């Protein structure tokens, strides 16, 4: 699609937006289209929410809330000049934020990444147990960060999003995203050094 758009002199981002808008519009009236939207983005949304919570059961609940909210507000998406993926990520970010506001505590989640399909690449079973333990500790340390720092780190390094994509998802400037990544990684490093995972 990108090559075809380039040959026609179209901006691929515009064509992608129009495709997203058409799918969102169809999903308002057609259950099959709604199913296609769900199937297309479920894994990404689930993966993002899981990396924010590290709790498979909670992730399922929050992901369901994301799509429920999305299907309830598809009409609003027509007026957003952002990709459908970014719009869904914004809803997911809000669901995670509201969850933590309701709980008002950040240490109540399961700290062991059990849902391997959606975790960042874990050490292979053949690797030393110490590597697997470090992997778990990194996830635990992530939960100590402020949500805005955790969000950009997750999107960049666990979801493999570009700085531009993260800016679109969060509604922040690219410079702000870079700054938050720098600060978040610095704080994460401090935590891991304090825990003895990284050398001082």
Q: How many domains does the chain have?
A: 2
Domain boundary among 85, 114, 143: 114
On whether the CB atoms of residues 89 and 169 are closer than 8 A, the answer is: yes
Q: What is the CATH number of the domain that holds 166?
A: 1.10.10.10
Tokens at residue 104, please? 């008002």
Domain boundary among 72, 90, 114: 114
Give dist(CA 152, CA 149) in Å, integer: 5
Tokens at residue 121, please? 């690449």
Q: What is the CATH number of the domain that holds 8?
A: 1.10.1740.10
Domain boundary among 96, 114, 132: 114
Do 86 and 161 sit in the same domain of this protein? no
Give dist(CA 172, CA 155) in Å, integer: 13
On whether the CB atoms of residues 26 and 134 are closer than 8 A, the answer is: no
Do 81 and 149 sit in the same domain of this protein? no
pLDDT of residue 2: 39
Do 100 and 128 sit in the same domain of this protein? no
Do 60 and 99 sit in the same domain of this protein? yes
- For residue 199, is it left (φ>0), alpha (ψ between -120 and 50) or beta? beta
Which tens digits make up the pLDDT trace of 134-166?
767 888 898 889 989 999 999 999 899 999 999
Which tens digits make up the pLDDT trace of 54-96?
889 999 999 999 999 999 988 888 666 788 999 999 999 999 9
H or E stretch covering 186: helix 174-194
| pTM for this model (two decimals) | 0.75
- Give the range of the structural domain holding residue 58, as residue numbers without chain letter: 1-114
Give dist(CA 51, CA 118) in Å, integer: 8
Q: Read out DSSP for 30-59?
A: -HHHHHHHHHHHHHHHHHHHHHHH--HHHH
Nearest to 140 by CA among 196, 183, 101: 196
Cα distance between the two ends of the chain: 49
């Amino acid at each position: 699609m990108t090559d075809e758009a380039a040959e026609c002199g179209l901006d691929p981002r515009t064509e992608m937006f129009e495709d997203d808008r058409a799918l969102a519009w169809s999903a308002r009236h057609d259950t099959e289209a709604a199913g296609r939207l769900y199937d297309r983005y479920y894994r990404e949304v689930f993966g993002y929410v899981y990396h924010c919570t590290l709790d498979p059961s909670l992730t399922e609940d929050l992901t369901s809330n994301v799509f429920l909210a999305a299907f309830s507000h598809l009409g609003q998406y027509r007026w957003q000049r952002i990709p459908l993926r970014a719009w869904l990520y914004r809803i997911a970010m809000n669901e995670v934020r509201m969850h933590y506001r309701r709980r008002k505590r950040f240490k109540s989640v399961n700290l062991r990444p059990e849902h391997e399909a959606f975790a960042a690449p874990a050490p292979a079973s053949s690797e030393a147990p110490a590597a697997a333990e470090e992997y778990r500790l990194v996830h635990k340390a992530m939960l100590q960060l402020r949500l805005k720092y955790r969000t950009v780190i997750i999107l960049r390094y666990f979801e493999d999003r570009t700085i531009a994509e993260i800016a679109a998802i969060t509604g922040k400037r690219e410079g702000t995203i870079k700054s938050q990544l720098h600060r978040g990684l610095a704080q994460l490093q401090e935590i891991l050094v304090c825990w003895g995972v990284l050398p001082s």
